[in-house]
Structure 1
């Protein structure tokens, strides 16, 4: 893939997890934003901000605030910059329950 050209790659769960955490810290993103399991590869291209994460299986995570169940696929990609991720792909579904009580 042309997007990955010139990227730094960490292979294996331990090294990939370290790199993912360091990217989140570097760009001021919450550390729990990308719950990862069985990481195969994490990569980052500093010139474009393109990052990718490959996992063995999809991961479901329930965020407490706000209460939301999110499923992450095996391939997660996006462009990171200060305090944001653009064009994020690999988030399969996000379920949110909203209740609208009647007000009198």
Structure 2
């Protein structure tokens, strides 16, 4: 399904592939452009990053899916091999390929947005209506 969506947005998209370091750099530049914290998508072994500025569609393809623990929050996130979203200033919408562990179950994240009223908070929303807010600072790039 995601490959069909990506194919429909490839025309006129800025696409980087092959070099993992360049793909990581471009994914960080995109997060910076939309004013989101660079540690929000701690993806590794990126194989492709694409961004269609006209439609706001972005995709990131990594070699393997990845589980990541945000240490300052003690929260687990899971990133599929392919992550897609529509981006705008301080917001990722219609996200696919990102889940958060709540209690014992994995919840698909549909939207990530900096809080309009409190710019120091970032909200993660699921299709179920569940929303959690955390400090933006918890998603800055972590030291290895």
Given the two structures, how large is their TM-score scaled by the length of structure 1?
0.86
Query: RMSD of the TM alignment (CA)?
Result: 1.2
Cα shift at 1:52: 0.3
| CA distance, structure 1, for counterparts of residue 25 and residue 55 of structure 2 | 21
- What is the number of equivalent residue pairs in this alignment? 96
Q: Please state whether the residue corresponding to 2:43 is helix, strand or coil.
A: coil
Of 76, 92, 95, 1:69 maps to: 76
1:52-78 Cα deviation digits (max 9, x unpaired):
000000111111343310110000000
Structure 1: 5+ residue stretches without partners: 98-104
Tell me which stretches of 4 or more aligned residues in structure 1 moved more than 4 Å: none
The structure with the largest alpha-carbon Rg is 1
Structure 2 equivalent of residue 100 of structure 1: none
Of 4, 18, 31, 2:10 maps to: 4
Q: How does 1:13-92 map to 2 (within 5 A)?
A: 13-91=20-98
Q: Please state whether the residue corresponding to 1:29 is helix, strand or coil.
A: coil
Q: Which has the higher contact order (CA 8 A, sep 6+)?
A: 1
Asked if 2 retains the 8 angstrom alpha-carbon contact of 1:36 and 1:55, the reply is yes
Structure 2 equivalent of residue 102 of structure 1: none
Q: Please state whether the residue corresponding to 2:54 is helix, strand or coil.
A: coil
Structure 1 equivalent of residue 136 of structure 2: none
